[in-house]
């Protein structure tokens, strides 16, 4: 039997949907019994949400003022303290999990499997490498603890309707003071979250300015879509960094992805491989984005986008 510990991602109030995807991944490990651990200053609200996820057997609250912000150096030794009783320790492959989980693995003197996209057995997993151009199946040493991050775009979120027990866990470890949270600047918007949105409209370098980029926001609002961007658009300052889609940005799986003025570099495409339908709007008929687009429209975005807005 496998005992899986999932480290919950949250902002102190709400459980991040990435955790429900980790639960689905964990479920595909044969015979898995799933525990979710919530590290927080006050874990009650988040723990209650985690307890509702189907197939979660137990939720552990690890409360400590030091857990107010998710500092990897502070959380990692606490995860290690809990990990003793588990065969697998999983976190999401979001910036939260990418930061934390390797620190956990190293403290356990074990390897990490990054970006798990499929589980083939207790010890065999598939993951993308080379910007998603290659998939590799790996075997992990039987007998050692398995630490992994879950590629959230590969799994559906676990449904609600469960009723796991919630317990407080006492963790006695010394926590470092060498790392301090200063601030986080999050652009607050009413638009859907890029990582979970059903529709996403992304813009590239072709938008030409932050001012022009705004026309994508109004189109997105008409569709109830989230907005994304290519690296070139973010580098140029047209869009904030948290909108970047791709190998080094967000990996997303919307039902509809509309790429506007994006060429379709492999580093960008790896972020949208799991999109159900891809639409490309680009003035260059040879742009690689058309190779993967379900619907392509060749033309000038500055004419097409206003027309689309009128039609929608």
Q: What is the full DSSP assignment across 226-258?
A: EEEE-HHHHHTTSS-GGGBBSTTSB----SEEE
Pattern 204-223, ligand FAD, x by CB under 6 A: xxx-----------------
Residues 6+ apart with CB under 8 A from 140: 111, 113, 123, 124, 125, 146
How far apart are alpha carbons 306 and 312 in whole angstroms?
Answer: 10
Among 268, 275, 278, 279, binds ligand FAD (CB under 6 A): 268
What's the maximum distance between 2 C-alpha atoms anywhere in the chain? 62
| Segment interacting with ligand FAD (CB under 6 A) among 111-119, 133-141, 212-220, 238-246 | 238-246
Q: Does 189 bind another protein (CB under 8 A)?
A: no
Pattern 269-288, ligand FAD, x by CB under 6 A: --x----------xxx--x-
The least CB distance from residue 267 to ligand FAD, in Å, is 4
How far apart are alpha carbons 79 and 108 in whole angstroms?
Answer: 10
Among 196, 208, 292, 302, binds another protein (CB under 8 A): 292
Q: Which is nearer to another protein, 45 or 304 (CB)?
A: 304
Q: Which is nearer to another protein, 37 or 147 (CB)?
A: 147
Contact (Cβ atoms closer than 8 angstroms) between residue 7 and residue 112: no
Q: Does 151 bind ligand FAD (CB under 6 A)?
A: no
Residues 69-108 that bind another protein (CB under 8 A): 71-73, 76, 94-96, 98-107
How far apart are alpha carbons 229 and 217 in whole angstroms?
Answer: 11
**Sign of torsion over alpha carbons 119, 124, 126, 127:** positive
Which 3 state secondary structure label does DSSP give 195?
coil
Q: Does 187 bind another protein (CB under 8 A)?
A: yes
Q: Does 241 bind another protein (CB under 8 A)?
A: yes
Residue 128 site contact among another protein, ligand FAD, none (CB < 5 to 8 Å, cut-off depends on kind): another protein
The least CB distance from residue 269 to ligand FAD, in Å, is 9
Structure-block tokens of residue 108: 């356990």
**# residues contacting ligand FAD (CB under 6 A):** 27
| Segment interacting with another protein (CB under 8 A) among 21-29, 43-51, 206-214, 250-258 | 250-258
Structure-block tokens of residue 52: 């509702």
CA 104 to centroid of chain Cα atoms: 18
Residue 206 site contact among another protein, ligand FAD, none (CB < 5 to 8 Å, cut-off depends on kind): ligand FAD
Residue 250 site contact among ligand FAD, another protein, none (CB < 5 to 8 Å, cut-off depends on kind): another protein
Contact (Cβ atoms closer than 8 angstroms) between residue 270 and residue 151: no
| Surface-to-core class of residue 28, CB atoms within 10 Å of its CB (0-12 exposed, 13-18 middle, 19+ buried) | middle
Residues 6+ apart with CB under 8 A from 195: 17, 18, 94, 152, 250, 252
Q: Which is nearer to another protein, 133 or 218 (CB)?
A: 133
Which 3 state secondary structure label does DSSP give 159?
coil
Residues 111-130 that bind another protein (CB under 8 A): 111-115, 124, 128-130
Binding site for ligand FAD (CB under 6 A): 204-206, 230-233, 244-249, 261-263, 265, 267-268, 271, 282-284, 287, 300-302
């Amino acid at each position: 039997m496998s005992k899986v510990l999932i480290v919950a991602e949250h902002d102190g109030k709400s459980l991040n949907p990435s955790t429900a995807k980790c639960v689905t991944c964990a479920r595909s490990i044969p015979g898995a019994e799933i525990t979710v651990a919530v590290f927080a200053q006050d874990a009650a609200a988040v723990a209650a949400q985690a307890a509702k996820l189907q197939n979660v057997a137990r939720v552990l609250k690890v409360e400590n003022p030091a857990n107010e912000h998710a500092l990897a150096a502070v959380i990692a030794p606490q995860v290690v303290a809990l990990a003793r009783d588990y065969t697998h320790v999983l976190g999401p492959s979001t910036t939260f999990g990418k930061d934390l989980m390797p620190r956990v693995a190293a403290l356990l003197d074990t390897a990490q499997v990054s970006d798990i996209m499929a589980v083939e057995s207790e010890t065999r997993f598939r993951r993308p490498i080379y910007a998603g151009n290659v998939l590799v199946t790996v075997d992990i040493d039987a007998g050692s603890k398995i630490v992994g991050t879950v590629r959230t775009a590969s799994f559906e979120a676990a449904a609600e309707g469960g009723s796991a027990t919630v317990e407080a866990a006492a963790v006695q470890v010394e926590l470092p003071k060498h790392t301090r949270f200063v601030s986080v600047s999050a652009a607050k918007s009413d638009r859907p979250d890029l990582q979970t949105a059903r529709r996403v409209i992304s813009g590239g370098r072709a938008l030409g300015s932050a001012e022009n980029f705004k026309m994508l926001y109004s189109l997105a609002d008409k569709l109830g879509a989230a907005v994304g961007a290519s690296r070139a658009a973010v580098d140029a300052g047209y869009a904030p960094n948290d909108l970047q889609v791709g190998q080094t940005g967000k990996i997303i799986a919307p039902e509809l992805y509309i790429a506007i003025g994006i060429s379709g570099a492999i580093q960008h495409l790896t972020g949208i491989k799991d999109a159900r339908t891809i639409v490309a709007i680009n003035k260059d008929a040879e742009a690689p984005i058309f190779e993967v687009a379900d619907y392509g429209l060749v033309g000038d975005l500055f004419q097409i986008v206003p027309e689309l807005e009128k039609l929608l």
